[in-house]
Amino acid sequence: MKFFIDTANLDQIREAYALGILDGVTTNPSLMAKEGIKGNEAVLQHYRNICEIVEGDISAEVLGTDFNTIIEEGKVLAALHPNIVVKVPMIKDGVKAIKWFTDNGIKTNCTLIFSAGQAILAAKAGATYVSPFIGRIDDSGWDGMQLISQISSIYAIQGFKSQILAASIRNANHIIDCAEAGAHVITSPLDPILGLLKHPLTDIGLAKFLEDAKKM
């Protein structure tokens, strides 16, 4: 399973990359705004900066919601770097745009997936990645992990090539559950990723080893 970090913070991206486990980055307008990145040119430059840090796919989101605007914005984003993946919303014109991008050799990430039906449409259009938002699904009273399992089963049966990119990760257990449910990729803030390092028995064991070492 691939690990992406979901942020626009360059320091956090560098920290995750330094762990040696980072495969890519996802970000969005909200995360850009959180870092004070404003204006089209500043956003484009920020994507370039991210591409200089990480040797993997970088999802860059379009803002348009009609076919022509999505295509024009996507072409600009894809031209920034070979590793850019154009992030497109799960809407009618978004699906049409994913098909166009696929036919023209541009990688895509279909975002805002909340049902298996949406995941099927995205895969049929040729999306490189589909992004179910498991945390938001859980918040609505449904089971986000069950959706990951359902999509994984459908893709295996039908032979779809799209990769399941589990998004809206809230904690370390989400990451573990996604791995078990068949997600190809998770994208997470830094804290849940670092949370995988933690276990009280590890802390206790290390403390004992260090204490015993003083007696040597």
Enzyme catalytic residues: 87
For residue 8, give the 3-state DSSP assignment: coil
Backbone angles phi, psi at 42, to 5 degrees: -65, -40
Per DSSP, helices labelled H in 112-199 are 116-125, 134-139, 144-158, 172-181, 190-195
Q: Name residue, tokens 């995988």.
A: 196
| The dihedral formed by the CA atoms of 16, 22, 26 and 27, expressed in degrees to the nearest 10 | 20
Q: Give the up-direction half-sphere exposure of residue 185: CA atoms within 13 A in the CB hemisphere.
A: 25
Residue from 49, 47, 1 nearest 26 by CA: 47
Question: DSSP of 77-123, one letter per residue?
Answer: HHTT-TTEEEEEESSHHHHHHHHHHHHTT--EEEEEE-SHHHHHHHH
For residue 156, give the 3-state DSSP assignment: helix
